Amino acid sequence: MSSPSLRYPFLLVISALFTVVMLLGVTLPGDGRLINALQDSGHFLIFVLLSLAVLWSYKTAADHLFWPILLGCLLFGAVMEIVQYTIGREASLYDLLMNAMGVTAGGLLFSGMIRRSIPRGLSALAVVLLFVIAFSGPLYWLSVAQIRNAEFPILINLEGVAAGALLQGSHGGDVHVINRPTNWPADIATDQRRCAIIQLKKGAWPGVSLIEPKPDWRGYHTLELSLYSELRHTLPLTLRINDRTHNNKLSDRFNHRLELNYGYNHFTIPLKEIENSPLERRMDLSVITNLLIFGTKQQIGNEFYLLSMRLR
């Protein structure tokens, strides 16, 4: 790029610095899936602004430099991902995709609104479509959170549309929401068509995790779990619950042994017992962050079913 083509060098420098600071120095508060999705989708907006700023800086020569500029923005994004990796931050192909979509949207906006080389309406429509795609992750997790909050104090509604998003296999567990097997006794959850099967496949602590339970459990008295086992022998499992300030020590969380016998198993656990479980403090029931049910490597190859999980 020849220097006479650079009309606004100050804008070029500021846009580059802005991109570096936003990618390397800004992290949204919190660590939930919605926040993480917003952080990833933010790459799209950053590179929309970067590509527009660079194209505007070379506005007088944008016709013959258009594609090299967009390619340069993409390469700059790739370099930033490498830098993030070297300084210990997460780098991902998904971020590169968001960068590329942002650069594409910036190029479309410039072409439609400034160069007028394509119809403005077509440019706007394409950019809106890219925006919706880029922010589909945050929109998805926002809808899941709203469904979760609406169903509370039911912690997981296996009949609901968000069940598959809220349950996740952990440490080698595999989870699927399925239709309730027809060979179960007729009096077991006859009003419930769906359940979750948890298969203990590998790892030291295979099981199931409830993703981001509604954190505030104050005002309730018990946690109730309903599980089902088709095994003829007892399956020992562990229920783990911790709050946001958990220090990752065994003594700082709630650990409860669940002896799962053949057939229907219902467990009722007082929340006071959960609250008083850490040895050196009280668990904060207003910021519960993790709930897991898991086995050990000795239980690999077994499976069980989750029917319900709620507070009362």
Query: If phi over 0 gives left and psi between -120 and 50 gives alpha, with beta otherwise, what is residue 301?
Result: left
**What is the reported pLDDT for 176?**
94
Quick one: tokens of 75? Answer: 């390469």
- pTM recorded for the entire structure: 0.81
pLDDT tens string 116-137: 888 999 999 999 999 999 999 9
What pLDDT shows up at residue 189? 56
User: With contact defined as beta carbons under 8 Å apart, do 149 and 156 qualify?
Assistant: no
pLDDT number for residue 1: 42
| Per-residue confidence (pLDDT) for residue 2, from 0 to 100 | 46
Residue 312 CA to residue 302 CA, distance in Å, equals 30
Any bridge partners for residue 290, and if so which? 242
Are 170 and 209 spatial neighbours (Cβ–Cβ below 8 Å)?
A: yes
Residue tagged 């846009």 (tokens) = 15
Q: No. of H helices and E strands in the chain?
A: 8, 11
Give the DSSP per-residue string, 169-237: EETTEEEEEEEPPTTS-TTSSTT--EEEEEEE-SSSS-EEEESS--S--TT--EEEEEEEE--SS-EEE
φ/ψ of 146, rounded to 5, equals -65, -40
Question: Kindly report the CA angle at 193 between 191 and 195, in degrees rounded to 5?
Answer: 115
Query: Considering the chain, what percentage of its residues have pLDDT values greater than 90?
Result: 64
* Residue 311 contacts residue 210 (beta carbons within 8 Å): no
pLDDT of amino acid 312: 95
Question: How much is the pLDDT for 8?
Answer: 76
Contact by Cβ (8 Å): 44, 102: yes
> Among 155, 175, 143, which Cα is nearest to 34's?
143
As a whole-number percent, the residues of the chain with pLDDT over 70 amount to 94
Task: Record the tokens describing residue 24, joined without a space.
Answer: 């390397």
Residue 182, pLDDT > 90, answer: no
Q: Which of 12-16, 147-151, 268-272 has the lowest mean pLDDT?
A: 12-16
Q: 6: burial class by Cβ within 10 Å (0-12, 13-18, 19+)? A: middle
Closest CA to 211 of 77, 31, 21: 31
Pull the structure tokens for residue 131.
Answer: 């925006």
Compute the average pLDDT of residues 247-270: 94
Domains delineated in the chain = 3-140 (no CATH), 155-311 (2.60.120.430)
Is 285 strand, coil or helix?
coil
